[in-house]
Structures are given as C-alpha cells and as structure tokens.
Amino acid sequence: MENTEQSISYQPPKMPEVKAVSFATLRGALKAGIDDFLKAPLFGLFFGGIYAVGGWLIIASLIYLNMPWMIIPLAIGFPLIGPFIAVGLYEVSRRIAAGKPLVWSEVLLVMFHQRERQLSWMAFVVLFVFWLWIYQVRLLLALFLGFKSVSTFPKFIEVVTSTQEGLLFLGVGTISGAILSFVMFSATVISMPLLLDRELDFVSAMICSFKTVFKSPVPMLSWGVMVVVLAFVGMAPAFVGLIVILPILGHATWHLYEAAIGSESAEQTTGG
C-alpha cells in the first residue's frame, strides 16, 4: 500500500509591525493614561485598590510568620506582577478608545476569559520570574547574612546598612534584581496589552515586546525607570499611593502599546 504524502501548510502567526517610540510618545501616553483614569476613576481605584490590599496582606503575613527580612525583597519584587494585574485597566482603556460602554460585568468577564487565552501563559511567566527573584533573595541572604541575627525589621535594616556582608548583599542583590527587572519589563511592557487585544501566541507577543524595547532603547528604558520610581513612590506610604499611581500607569501602558503596535480595534475602526 502506497503512503500518500499530505502536505500540511503551517501558517506562522502574523507578527505586528513594531514602530519606534519617542519621548513625545511617552508624554502622550502618560497624558492619555491620566485622562482615562479621570474618565473612569472607579475602575482605576478598584484595580489600584486590589494591588494595595495585596501589598498589605504580604507585609502582614511576613510579620505574622516572623520573616521581616523578606519585606524589602517582596516589596521590590511586587511590581513585577503589576502588568498582569493591570489587564483590567487595559480593557477599560480599550473600551474608552473604541467608544464602548464601561460595564463592570463586561470588563470583569473579559478578564475572566483570559484564562483560556495566551495571556494566562504570560501570567505564568511573570509568576515564574517573581519566584526566581524570591529564590535568589533567599540564596543571597543565606550566602551573605546566614549567620546574622535579623529577627526584626529594624535589625535587618541595621545589618544590611552597617556591615560588610550586608552591603555586599545589597550590591549583588541590586545588580541581579536590575537584570531580572530588565528582562521582565522587556518581555511584558507590550506583550500584555498585545495579548489582550489580538489573537497571538505568548512567545510571539514577548518577541514583539523585546523588539519595541530594542528599537527605541532610550525612551523605553526611560519609561521603565519612570514606572519603577513611581511604583516606589506609591509604595512608600504603606502602598496607598498605588491606588492612584497604578491605574494611571496601566492606562498609559495601553496607549504606549497603541503607539508602538496599534490596537486591533482601532485598525478595524479605521478600516486598516
């Protein structure tokens, strides 16, 4: 019996075109993010509040478990999961841009359905990197401060700022944390809103995100630095500032995605 060869044509995913962004683009995205927050403040405060409450629960848990030395590493790593929490904000901005009504049930339903799409895989990537960060901190703590007593948070601050081992821990941790943050930022800054907006696999979305950063490295890295600085400012008063800062950054990231890639809904509206 002769074997009949059947040719199976594989259609690779159509990669969106990546545009260069400038500092003017960043200013426009930030302004648009503020405008979206003012247009839908309750949505912004709701999602920002989830982030703040999450921070409070983490700090309370560490104090209860007598692990005060993990407060700073977790506070630093906490913004890594920000892009995933901001998915609801991306959807709000998308609906505002498309002129669609903002209905709580519809916005939350869109977020719920993301579990069946590629965005859920990106959530796994984000949590995996967050886990790497925590594992790395624990390893550095064992290497540099393994024999130091850090039973309280003030004692931990004293040890890391007044001893040679503590300063080495801070130095190595800062460098390795910066590398992880760069990788996470480059992988998610565009891929999260892209996966919400288009049918694309998460690997292709991350490639587009990295391309955006490498195509406009100075503006994009400046954007990343601004996000980190504002996140720390928001966390300083017991995470309260994040209730406003996170929504603005989330909305602004959507508009940055629109500038760098272009939303599918906008293309359909204009007939592109």
Q: Note the pLDDT tens digit of each residue in 131-181.
A: 787 788 888 888 887 756 566 667 777 777 888 888 888 888 888 888 888
Burial label, 155 (beta-carbon count in 10 A; 0-12, 13-18, 19+): middle
pLDDT at 10 over 70: no
> Average pLDDT, stretch 86-111?
89
> Predicted confidence band at 9 (pLDDT cuts at 50, 70, 90)?
low
190 vs 75 pLDDT, higher one:
190
> Average pLDDT, stretch 216-235?
89
The full DSSP string for the chain is -PPPP---------PPPPPP--HHHHHHHHHHHHHHHHHSHHHHHHHHHHHHHHHHHHHHHHHHTT-GGGHHHHHHHGGGGHHHHTHHHHHHHHHHHHT----HHHHHHHHHHGGGSTHHHHHHHHHHHHHHHHHHHHHHHHHHHTTS---SHHHHHHHHHHSHHHHHHHHHHHHHHHHHHHHHHHHHTTHHHHHHHS---HHHHHHHHHHHHHHSHHHHHHHHHHHHHHHHHHHTTTTTTHHHHHHHHHHHHHHHHHHHT--HHHHHHHT-
CA-based end-to-end distance of the chain: 51
Q: Note the pLDDT tens digit of each residue in 197-212.
A: 888 888 999 999 999 9
Q: Note the pLDDT tens digit of each residue in 231-267.
A: 888 877 777 888 999 899 999 999 999 999 987 655 5
Looking from the CA of 232 toward its CB, the CA atoms found within 13 Å total 9
The confidence score (pLDDT) of residue 247 equals: 92
Q: Note the pLDDT tens digit of each residue in 26-84.
A: 999 999 999 999 999 999 999 888 888 877 877 777 777 666 666 666 665 565 566 66
* Domain locations along the chain: 23-263
The confidence score (pLDDT) of residue 50 equals: 83
pTM: 0.80
112: left (phi over 0), alpha (psi -120 to 50) or beta: alpha
> Average pLDDT, stretch 94-107?
91
> Predicted confidence band at 271 (pLDDT cuts at 50, 70, 90)?
very low
> Predicted confidence band at 4 (pLDDT cuts at 50, 70, 90)?
very low
> Are 256 and 87 contacting, i.e. CB atoms less than 8 angstroms apart?
no
The confidence score (pLDDT) of residue 71 equals: 63
52 vs 23 pLDDT, higher one:
23
Smallest CA-to-CA distance from 53 within 234, 238, 227 is with: 238
- Per-residue tokens: 226: 């601004």
216: left (phi over 0), alpha (psi -120 to 50) or beta: beta
pLDDT at 12 over 80: no
Smallest CA-to-CA distance from 186 within 218, 132, 232, 224 is with: 224
- C-alpha to C-alpha distance for 135 and 149, rounded to whole angstroms: 20
Tell me how crowded residue 9 is: count the other CB atoms within 10 A of its CB. 4
